[in-house]
Amino acid sequence: MKKWVYVVLVLLICGVFLKACVRRDYPEAAKTPSSVQNDVEYVNFPPSQKTVTIDGIEYLQSQAPIGKFGGEIHASTIGEGPKTFNPFNSKDNISSLMSDVMYDGLLSTDAETGEPIPKLAKSFEVNGNNYIIKLRKGAKWSDGKEITADDVVFTWQNIIFDGYGNTSTRDSLIIDGQLPTVKKIDKYTVKFSTIKPFAPFIRMLSTPIAPKHTFEPAVKKGKDYFYTFLSTNTNPKTFVTSGAFRLKEYVPAQRVVFERNPNYYIINKNNQKLPYLDKLVYFIVGDLNNEVLKFEGGEIDVINLQGANVARFKEREAHSDYKIYNLGPNTGTMFLSMNLNDRKNKDGKFYVNPIKQSWFRDVNFRLACDYAIDRKNMVLNIANGLGEPLYTAESLNSIFLNKKLEPYPKSTEKAKEYLKKSGFVWDKKGHLLDKSGNHVEFDLFTNAGNTEREAIGVMVKQDLEDLGMKVNFKPVEFNTLVNKLVNTLDWDMVIMGLTGSPLEPNGGKNVWMSDGTLHMFNQRLEGEENSSRFDWESEIDEMYTKGALATSFEERKKYYDEYQRIAYEQKPFIYIYSPIIITAIRTKFKNIFPSSLTGITYNLEEIYIDK
């Protein structure tokens, strides 16, 4: 079948399918842009969970239909597997996913409304810049010890505020150079205070809480030791957790197995302790193609489908043992970025070749690359039409999306105009030269195994080579890539993606603030002075700071609109497209309430198998 016929067929099949999506009811002041809202299929979410007291223990009671106990669910991860099981050391999505299974936070997010809701906390109260958290009496760690205010204070003061592990959470909380304070009021009550009203703080309380009695010895041994604490070599029997599951087994490059936590504090309407499932297994599948094969072979039960596979799976759905859900636009962003730093390392050498530095730091060069990229072609040929071109720093379903920033088509002519403005020329063979006569050649990286990003890399390479550039496309192992981006800084261009929240931009503070730990396009290393900063970086710093301190949605949006405008004009990230999240799960699993905010298996404790 010819390629264009296949694309048309895919779009015809999926065009109807895209209408069947999830409705979300945000607060009136923060409605999602109608262009990405999907209201046709209504998901009947169960009533909110509530606190019930039994024999003095304050359980969180699920209001979902009562299920059957037993069985297991098989999921998958791409790449090499987790790098750590310590929730405070995690710097990658897979490690964070594993941590989320084992450790709960004080609060969570309502899958239907997006509002903060109690989790380990029984209740919370916000009074200006003070946050009063009341814990559940009698809630226990997996080893049977009670979860108390001492655990909360220790987690926030001695791990997060004192800078142990990944400091992204800590960095996101600094206001005028000061961190919040945390104080124990009594055994089950904690008070947090910020120096000013700080809108994002309430959502930060979803951060995992650590058991003081097992983490404190590691903290006392210092930060170097803490980085190795709960590594992937740790005996699973030593783990003490608060989540629905606890670690049972880890086989490198093969699987991670979790077992039911018998001391979990969530119960069903019959007052039986959840979760229903005995085990949760993540198979480490290497790449997306292998993941599809394992789903088709029945080895895994749930999968996020890439655009190229959706039509085939949709055709088979009626006669299969799975159901497909459309969760709407991805809440993260995918982009091309260039290394803008012009600093020297400790040996006095530039991290980036000074010739390349002069190209990448030139906004006209970045704009030329931006106009050269054919986003619509990528959506059609990589996402098979299941996505939309992306031009902004906020995702398409963000309530803070700046809708005044208009999309624009690929234009080779416009790209060449920007290059000419900065003195670039072409030789007789069409090769691009800078004003000093240097051939424009550089490396383009992405993480190997992610076939979607690899396909994007191939198309970006072609689009940029149409301008006369020589692009060396190099997919590399994910850990190697991360090391380049945040440690050695020896990279030119990269295709990456970042997760995000459609409800709170401040989660991107460590990316956008000029001293952020993921400010990858102009990364500062630990202990390095905040030098070599563009004026527009300082402007974004200001907008992010003001946006977090503003108290009303309208005022906050004004500042976040402005940071998006600056990013739109300066192009430190060249955004590519936003794929639609298409998920398939076996029909034997019940209590599935798909959410565009939290996914499809966010309520693992409530999911059961209808045997």
So what's the pLDDT on residue 534?
94
pLDDT higher than threshold 50 for residue 35: no
Would you mind telling me the total number of residues written for the chain in this entry? 611
Average pLDDT estimate for 161-187: 93
- Work out the pLDDT band at 527, boundaries 50, 70, 90: low
Distance between CA atoms of residues 476 and 254, nearest Å: 20
Distance between CA atoms of residues 132 and 15, nearest Å: 48
Is 546 a domain residue?
A: no
Rounded to an integer, what is the distance from CA 64 to the centroid of its chain?
27
So what's the pLDDT on residue 532?
74
| Residue 499: closest CA among 372, 362, 584, 598 | 598
Q: Which residues contact 261 (CB under 8 A, 6 or more apart)?
A: 142, 241, 242, 243, 244, 245, 246, 275
| Residue 506: closest CA among 350, 582, 400, 367 | 400
Is 548 a domain residue?
A: no
- Same-domain status, 19 and 127: no
Distance between first and last Cα of the chain: 41
Strand, coil or helix: what is 132? Answer: strand
- Which CATH number covers residue 389? 3.10.105.10
Residue 459 belongs to what domain range?
333-500+572-579
- Work out the pLDDT band at 202, boundaries 50, 70, 90: very high
The 10 Å Cβ neighbour count of residue 133 is 23
Answer whether 394's CB lies under 8 Å from 400's CB.
yes
24 versus 260: the higher-pLDDT residue is 260
Distance between CA atoms of residues 447 and 482, nearest Å: 9
So what's the pLDDT on residue 37?
35
- Same-domain status, 404 and 496: yes
Strand, coil or helix: what is 60? Answer: strand
- Same-domain status, 87 and 192: yes
- Same-domain status, 413 and 311: no
Looking at every residue in the chain, the average pLDDT score rounds to 90
Distance between CA atoms of residues 64 and 260, nearest Å: 19
Answer whether 307's CB lies under 8 Å from 7's CB.
no
Distance between CA atoms of residues 183 and 59, nearest Å: 24
- Same-domain status, 152 and 32: no
Strand, coil or helix: what is 278? Answer: coil
Determine what percent of the chain is predicted with pLDDT higher than 90.
75
pLDDT higher than threshold 50 for residue 473: yes
Is 540 a domain residue?
A: no
349 versus 322: the higher-pLDDT residue is 322
507 versus 178: the higher-pLDDT residue is 178
Strand, coil or helix: what is 443? Answer: strand
From the CA atom positions of the chain, what is the Rg in Å? 25
Half-sphere exposure of 106 toward its Cβ, with a 13 Å CA cutoff? 27
Answer whether 142's CB lies under 8 Å from 240's CB.
yes
pLDDT higher than threshold 80 for residue 11: no
So what's the pLDDT on residue 36?
32
Over residues 535-578, the pLDDT tens digits come to 999 999 999 999 999 989 999 999 999 999 999 999 999 999 99
Average pLDDT estimate for 587-601: 93
Q: From 201, 226, 251, give the residue that closes a domain.
A: 226
| Residue 239: closest CA among 140, 142, 98 | 142
Report the helix count and the strand count for the chain, using DSSP H and E: 18, 26
pLDDT higher than threshold 70 for residue 38: no
- Same-domain status, 357 and 413: yes
So what's the pLDDT on residue 531?
60
Is 520 a domain residue?
A: no
Average pLDDT estimate for 575-592: 95
Is 552 a domain residue?
A: no
Beta strand pairing status for 279-286 and 72-78? parallel
Is 559 a domain residue?
A: no
- Which CATH number covers residue 85? 3.90.76.10
- Could you please report the per-residue DSSP string of 416-452? HHHHHHTT-EE-TT--EE-TTS-B-EEEEEEETT-HH
Phi then psi for residue 41, to 5 deg, are -95, 120
- Same-domain status, 355 and 324: no
Is the N-terminal amide bond of 27 cis, ω within 30° of 0? no
Q: What is the DSSP letter of 507?
A: G
Average pLDDT estimate for 402-407: 96
Distance between CA atoms of residues 244 and 264, nearest Å: 6
Over residues 232-266, the pLDDT tens digits come to 999 999 999 999 999 999 999 999 999 999 999 99
Answer whether 282's CB lies under 8 Å from 302's CB.
no
- Work out the pLDDT band at 30, boundaries 50, 70, 90: very low
Over residues 348-392, the pLDDT tens digits come to 788 889 999 999 999 999 999 999 999 999 999 998 898 999 999
Over residues 254-304, the pLDDT tens digits come to 999 999 999 999 999 999 999 999 999 999 998 888 999 999 999 999 999
- Which CATH number covers residue 592? 3.40.190.10
Strand, coil or helix: what is 216? Answer: helix
Query: Edge to edge, what strands does the sheet with 189-193 contain?
Result: 121-127, 130-135, 189-193, 181-186
pLDDT higher than threshold 90 for residue 181: yes
So what's the pLDDT on residue 78?
87
So what's the pLDDT on residue 597?
86
pLDDT higher than threshold 60 for residue 205: yes
- Work out the pLDDT band at 32, boundaries 50, 70, 90: very low
- Same-domain status, 435 and 377: yes
pLDDT higher than threshold 70 for residue 31: no
- Same-domain status, 109 and 210: yes
So what's the pLDDT on residue 441?
98
So what's the pLDDT on residue 171?
86
So what's the pLDDT on residue 535?
95
Half-sphere exposure of 590 toward its Cβ, with a 13 Å CA cutoff? 13
Sign of CA dihedral 496, 36, 409, 310: positive
- Same-domain status, 281 and 405: no
Is 517 a domain residue?
A: no
Residue type, 441: E
Q: Which residues contact 418 (CB under 8 A, 6 or more apart)?
A: 364, 365, 367, 368, 371
Average pLDDT estimate for 85-108: 93
- Same-domain status, 244 and 216: no
Name the helix (H) or strand (E) containing 556.
helix 553-570
Distance between CA atoms of residues 410 and 377, nearest Å: 10
So what's the pLDDT on residue 529?
58
Kindly give the interhelix angle for 553-570 and 363-372, rounded to the nearest 10 degrees: 90
CB-count burial class (<10 Å; 0-12, 13-18, 19+) for 527 = exposed
- Same-domain status, 248 and 209: no
So what's the pLDDT on residue 458?
97
Report the domain count for the chain: 3
Answer whether 192's CB lies under 8 Å from 179's CB.
no
So what's the pLDDT on residue 351?
86
Over residues 46-66, the pLDDT tens digits come to 999 999 999 999 999 999 999
Instruction: Give the CA distances from residue 465 to residues 197, 327, 468, 495, 517, in Å, rounded to whole numbers and listed in that order.
Output: 50, 35, 5, 16, 32
| Residue 66: closest CA among 275, 270, 261 | 270
Average pLDDT estimate for 425-438: 97
| Residue 32: closest CA among 551, 387, 395 | 395
| Residue 415: closest CA among 474, 373, 461 | 373
So what's the pLDDT on residue 6?
29
Distance between CA atoms of residues 154 and 162, nearest Å: 10
Q: From 192, 226, 260, give the residue that closes a domain.
A: 226
Distance between CA atoms of residues 209 and 108, nearest Å: 12
- Work out the pLDDT band at 167, boundaries 50, 70, 90: confident
pLDDT higher than threshold 90 for residue 26: no
- Work out the pLDDT band at 42, boundaries 50, 70, 90: low
Is 505 a domain residue?
A: no
Is the N-terminal amide bond of 275 cis, ω within 30° of 0? yes
Place of tokens 């530039």: 350
163: left (phi over 0), alpha (psi -120 to 50) or beta: left
